[in-house]
Chain A
Amino acid sequence: QKEVEQNSGPLSVPEGAIASLNCTYSDRVSQSFFWYRQYSGKSPELIMSIYSNGDKEDGRFTAQLNKASQYVSLLIRDSQPSDSATYLCAVRGGGADGLTFGKGTHLIIQP
């Protein structure tokens, strides 16, 4: 059974600070890693993808991957109130059966 673990939160971060979201996964052959953002009552939207070890930056977002430790993280710099949402970590293994999602971390950015 593939598992993706996230701290459910809520994680409360002051506006302008760095928010750090973490995720671990159980399937060692996992190849692709994604972060989705989901606002309350809305569908998940993709914000970052990462496929190789190291860091990947896109604007205020940085995804970090460490396959040896089976660990993925998302950093949000200069956090804004509009970043308040649930962040879902998703992992794709070696098969064709879609993504396995974590239960999500609820992030609150305090003005």
Chain B
Amino acid sequence: NAGVTQTPKFQVLKTGQSMTLQCAQDMNHNSMYWYRQDPGMGLRLIYYSASEGTTDKGEVPNGYNVSRLNKREFSLRLESAAPSQTSVYFCASSERGFNEKLFFGSGTQLSVL
């Protein structure tokens, strides 16, 4: 049972480079999320998709774009990476509803030099 799968696990970029983080879930969940986690800052929501075909900004969306490709897949794109985007990125998914439990992928460690 794969759950939430993220790729890549590690990535090093130079300032100004672009890249896409991929996320797929096999739990038939409606909602998907991208969080970043920085030391001392906790988990912060970047973007989310409440259902297929919709995306919305979270707390820290600047410098990112997302695509909800289908119900399973939700990608996060950095168009021009900056050192401030060095972080651990987590994708998560959930059923939609008030008892919304998030299930997380294993994370992507991104360093921007």
How many A-B contacts are there with CB distance less than 8 Å? 62
A104 touches B96 (CB 8 A): no
Q: Are A99 and B102 in contact (CB under 8 A)?
A: yes
Residues of chain A at interface, number, CB under 8 A: 23
Interface residues, chain A, with chain B CB atoms under 8 Å away: 8, 31-32, 34, 42-46, 49, 51, 88, 90, 92, 96-104
In the complex, residue of chain B having the shortest beta-carbon distance to the beta carbon of A51: B99
Interface residues of B in 20-44 (CB under 8 A from A): 31, 33, 35, 40-44
A-B contact list, 26 entries, CB within 8 Å: A32-B100, A34-B101, A42-B106, A43-B105, A43-B107, A44-B43, A45-B104, A46-B101, A49-B101, A51-B98, A51-B99, A90-B102, A92-B100, A96-B50, A97-B48, A97-B50, A97-B56, A97-B58, A98-B31, A98-B45, A98-B100, A98-B102, A101-B43, A101-B44, A102-B42, A103-B42
From known contacts A43-B105, A43-B106, A97-B58, infer whether A88 and B99 are also in contact, taking CB-CB under 8 Å. Answer: no
User: How many interface residues does chain B have, given as a range?
Assistant: 20 to 34
Distance of A74 Cα from B92 Cα, bound (Å): 23
Asked if residues A88 and B90 are in contact (CB atoms below 8 Å), the reply is: no
Q: Using Cβ atoms and an 8 Å threshold, which residues of chain A touch B100?
A: 32, 92, 98-99
B64 at the interface (CB under 8 A from A): no
Q: Is the CB of B42 within 8 A of A44?
A: no
Which of A45, A46, A51, A104 is the one whose CB lies under 8 Å from B42? Answer: A104
